[in-house]
């Protein structure tokens, strides 16, 4: 059977693209693992913030906001966004870096407010008085319900007639007579258009198809959750140091901590390194009054980037019907609604959605050909 669109990858990118493409034709989504969203999507500590990332990321994030704030009926049972806020904090020796970060944040976040050290500690009481010198607050940053968003896309895809096939690792791709034939562990699948949403494996999928890779670099991001004495944690904002070497936030009665590492690794089922956990624990104890006595859980995820840190979306010029949807870095969840719409539009020959072009984003900013120039 020939479907209209084959999507390789069942994480947030593939699921969101499938959700919107299912309005335009028959969709089959292929996932190499037994579980959907196992690698990056399922390991994300997602935050919705319109001040983070380059211009393309911000345009995609802002354009995704209306969908997350008012999702379609039946998409989710609970709100997708809940209030969190962000504190960016800095020690005495980092005033220049703090001022640069503040200026950049204020360009895109009109509600950004500079805090005195006492005001910052009123929001996050564990910040050490002998470390904290500068801080600003972004009150509009929101926690994202990653599971609900991912499952909402998948549920919508299925309700529109789409099919999801797990344990379907791709072993070969070949185009014959205008149709891509994709060999998987779950059998052969055929479609005129293939969307490569394979995350950290996207370059490997391209090589199987004879398509030029885009120079994708998967990077490990470590996180862990610590137990604290009862009554210690309050409704704190996510707190990050100005150099982005540590962030922490409350999560389900515990504290989530990350060294915000970006270590290049091959695409794999990535695991946390003890050195990264130890560094984050040391930084937490240096910058707060907290002590790391028991780690409840630790994990690592992959955040994949190309050289300009802008997602890659659109047709490969040398391979008709092969569409890229990769390189979302750490922004895949917060940009997913606009990314899914953009992928659906470009895959079917339409223009980018108007709300994106109105923010200055052009298809050329996303297309893979930009990466092949010197």
pLDDT at 231: 84
68-69-74 Cα angle (round to 5): 70
- Retrieve residue 249's tokens: 């936030």
CA distance linking residue 33 with residue 103, whole number of Å = 43
Which strand (E) or helix (H) includes residue 341? helix 336-347
Q: Angle at which helices 55-69 and 336-347 pack, to 10 degrees?
A: 100
Q: What are the E-state strand segments in 192-293? A: 193-196, 217-227, 238-241, 247-251, 254-258, 263-264
For residue 180, which phi and psi values (nearest 5 degrees)? -80, 130
Burial of 223 (0-12, 13-18, 19+ CB in 10 A): buried
pLDDT at 176: 95
CA distance linking residue 96 with residue 332, whole number of Å = 30
In order along its 374 residues, the chain shows pLDDT tens digits of 689 999 999 999 999 999 999 999 999 999 998 877 664 454 566 899 998 889 999 999 999 999 999 999 999 999 999 999 999 999 999 999 999 999 999 988 889 999 999 999 999 999 999 999 999 999 999 999 999 999 999 999 999 999 999 999 999 999 999 999 999 999 999 999 999 999 999 999 999 999 999 999 999 999 999 999 888 899 999 999 999 999 999 988 899 999 999 999 999 889 999 999 999 999 999 999 999 999 999 999 999 999 999 999 999 999 999 999 999 988 999 999 999 999 999 999 999 999 999 999 999 999 999 999 75
pLDDT at 313: 98
């Amino acid at each position: 059977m020939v479907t209209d669109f084959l999507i390789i990858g069942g994480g947030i990118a593939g699921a969101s693209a499938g959700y919107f493409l299912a309005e335009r034709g028959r969709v089959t989504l292929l996932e190499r693992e037994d579980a959907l969203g196992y690698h990056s999507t399922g390991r994300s500590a997602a935050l919705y913030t319109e001040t983070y990332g380059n211009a393309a990321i911000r345009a995609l994030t802002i354009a995704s906001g209306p969908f997350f704030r008012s999702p379609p009926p039946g998409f989710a049972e609970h709100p997708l966004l809940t209030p969190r806020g962000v504190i960016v904090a800095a020690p005495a020796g980092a005033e220049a870096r703090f001022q640069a970060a503040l200026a950049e944040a204020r360009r895109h976040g009109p509600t950004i407010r500079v805090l005195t050290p006492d005001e910052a500690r009123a929001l996050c009481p564990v910040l050490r008085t002998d470390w904290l010198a500068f801080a600003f607050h972004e009150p509009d940053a929101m926690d994202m319900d990653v599971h609900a968003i991912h499952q909402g896309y998948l549920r919508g895809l299925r309700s529109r007639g789409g099919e999801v096939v797990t344990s379907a690792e791709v072993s070969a791709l070949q185009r014959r007579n205008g149709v891509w034939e994709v060999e998987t562990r779950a059998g052969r699948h055929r479609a005129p258009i293939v969307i490569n949403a394979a995350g950290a494996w996207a370059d490997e999928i391209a090589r199987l198809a004879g398509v030029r890779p885009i120079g994708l670099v998967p990077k490990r991001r470590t996180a862990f959750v610590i137990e604290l004495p009862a009554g210690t944690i309050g409704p704190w904002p996510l707190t990050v140091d100005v150099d982005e070497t540590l962030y922490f936030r409350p999560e389900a009665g515990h504290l989530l901590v990350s060294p915000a590492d970006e270590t290049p690794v091959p695409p794999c089922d990535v695991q946390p390194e003890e050195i990264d956990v130890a560094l984050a624990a040391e930084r937490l104890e240096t910058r707060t009054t907290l002590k790391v006595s028991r780690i409840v859980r630790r994990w690592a995820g992959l955040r994949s980037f190309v050289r300009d840190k802008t997602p890659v979306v659109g047709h490969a010029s040398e391979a008709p019907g092969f569409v890229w949807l990769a390189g979302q870095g750490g922004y895949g969840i917060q940009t997913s609604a606009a990314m899914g719409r953009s992928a659906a539009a470009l895959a079917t020959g339409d223009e980018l959605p108007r709300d994106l072009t109105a923010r200055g984003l052009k298809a050329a900013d996303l297309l893979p050909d930009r990466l092949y120039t010197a």
